[in-house]
């Protein structure tokens, strides 16, 4: 039986650059960094304490283009504070938007990926 989402794959042009962004800017933990086949590497990261991870896959090794992959939304406790923190680390973010369903912003990631993070209204 399927119980949860294990990971999402993001196709990137440079795994080391992607790792620097997700680890050093977003603060993710490295789950695994291991060789796969010839010229390939399994590079998996996730937010601290999270169950779902991102696999930062070398696009060329899989016949993909950088930027192909899922549009990802992460949960955040405080979107406005997260925007400030990410900007202090050198990231480009959108302004904070408040909607009836919640508050969100986006951050520009390598290879044209745009990541959203949101907080839901308290019930």
Of residues 45 and 123, the one with the higher pLDDT is 45
At 36 the pLDDT is 80
Of residues 100 and 4, the one with the higher pLDDT is 100
Report pLDDT digits (tens) over 50-87. Answer: 989 999 999 988 888 897 776 788 889 999 999 999 99
At 38 the pLDDT is 65
Identify which of 63, 108, 118 has the alpha carbon closest to the alpha carbon of residue 86. 108
Of residues 20 and 117, the one with the higher pLDDT is 20
Separation of alpha carbons 51 and 71, rounded Å? 18
Q: What value does the mean pLDDT take over residues 14-38?
A: 92
Q: To the nearest whole number, what is the mean pLDDT of the chain?
A: 89
Identify the burial level of 30 via C-beta atoms within 10 angstroms of its C-beta, where 0-12 means exposed, 13-18 middle and 19 or more buried. middle
């Amino acid at each position: 039986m399927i119980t949860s989402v294990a990971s999402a794959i993001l196709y990137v042009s440079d795994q080391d650059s992607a790792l620097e962004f997700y680890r050093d800017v977003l603060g993710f933990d490295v789950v695994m960094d291991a060789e796969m086949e010839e010229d390939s590497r399994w590079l998996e990261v996730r937010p601290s304490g999270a169950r779902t991870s991102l696999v930062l896959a070398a696009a060329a090794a899989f016949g993909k283009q950088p930027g192909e992959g899922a549009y990802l939304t992460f949960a955040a406790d405080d979107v406005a504070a997260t925007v400030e923190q990410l900007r202090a680390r050198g990231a480009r973010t959108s302004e904070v938007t408040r909607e009836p369903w919640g508050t969100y912003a986006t951050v520009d990631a390598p290879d044209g990926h745009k990541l959203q993070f949101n907080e839901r209204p308290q019930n």
